[in-house]
């Protein structure tokens, strides 16, 4: 069912008021704090710039869909079916800037439109976010652990750790052979 743009998008006029009391904040309260951070770094502008040439279509714009997926992950959703349980949450709708929460089918169809070019747009967004954040951190050193997979070099022994483990700081590291530990 097609909807008008005004029916989908919600406007956020300001910050929600926080009051720190003995009552514990829920994980959903973190959405408002994270949303404030995203606004501070201009996340929506970065998304718009990164996906400027992408034609993903659908009722919801790319910013809303990215925010829906980020919000889903932030509150612990791991499957698109979890969107159904979050549809009535006003704070999550506020975070995603939508009046109407998309269904799992809508998000699935949107994700199916991704091509390798769309993935390149996503990588550009990731690079833009990192490029904006890294200078602020003023780090002297940075270690990036891309993959901790052990590549087998043969001689398979039950429960033995033998092979090369890639390490970003020093190159491959030979793992010891512990043999079978009964």
DSSP string, 61-125: -HHHHHHHHHHHHHTT--SGGGHHHHTT-HHHHHHHTBSSPPPHHHHHHHHHT--HHHHHHHHHH
Does residue 181 fall inside a structural domain? no
Does residue 68 fall inside a structural domain? yes
Q: Which residue has the tokens 């652990």?
A: 145
On whether both 88 and 162 belong to a single domain, the answer is no
Does residue 29 fall inside a structural domain? yes
Q: How far is CA 165 from CA 33, 68, 123, 146, 148, in A?
A: 38, 36, 26, 11, 7
The rounded mean pLDDT for the chain is 76
List the beta bridge partners of residue 155.
none
On whether both 121 and 168 belong to a single domain, the answer is no
Range of the domain at 166: 143-175
On whether both 148 and 133 belong to a single domain, the answer is no
On whether both 165 and 102 belong to a single domain, the answer is no
Does residue 78 fall inside a structural domain? yes
Does residue 182 fall inside a structural domain? no
On whether both 149 and 133 belong to a single domain, the answer is no
pLDDT tens string 111-161: 888 888 888 888 888 888 888 888 888 888 877 777 666 555 555 555 555
Say what the pLDDT of residue 130 is.
86
Does residue 180 fall inside a structural domain? no
pTM of this prediction? 0.64
Number of domains in the chain: 2
Say what the pLDDT of residue 181 is.
45
Does residue 85 fall inside a structural domain? yes
């Amino acid at each position: 069912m097609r909807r008008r743009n005004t029916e989908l998008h919600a406007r956020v006029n300001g910050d929600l008021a926080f009051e720190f009391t003995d009552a514990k904040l829920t994980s959903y309260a973190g959405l408002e704090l994270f949303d404030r951070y995203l606004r501070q770094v201009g996340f929506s502008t970065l998304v718009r710039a990164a996906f400027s040439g992408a034609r993903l279509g659908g009722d919801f714009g790319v910013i809303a869909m990215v925010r829906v997926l980020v919000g889903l992950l932030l509150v612990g959703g791991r499957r698109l079916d979890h969107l159904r349980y979050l549809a009535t949450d006003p704070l999550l709708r506020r975070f995603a800037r939508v009046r109407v929460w998309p269904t799992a089918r809508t998000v699935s169809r949107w994700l199916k439109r991704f091509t390798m070019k769309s993935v390149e747009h996503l990588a550009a967004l990731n690079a833009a976010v990192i490029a904006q954040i890294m200078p602020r951190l003023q780090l002297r050193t940075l270690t990036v652990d891309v993959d901790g997979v052990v590549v087998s070099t043969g001689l398979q022994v039950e429960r033995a750790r033998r092979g090369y483990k890639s390490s970003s700081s020093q190159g491959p590291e030979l793992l010891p052979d512990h043999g079978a530990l009964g």
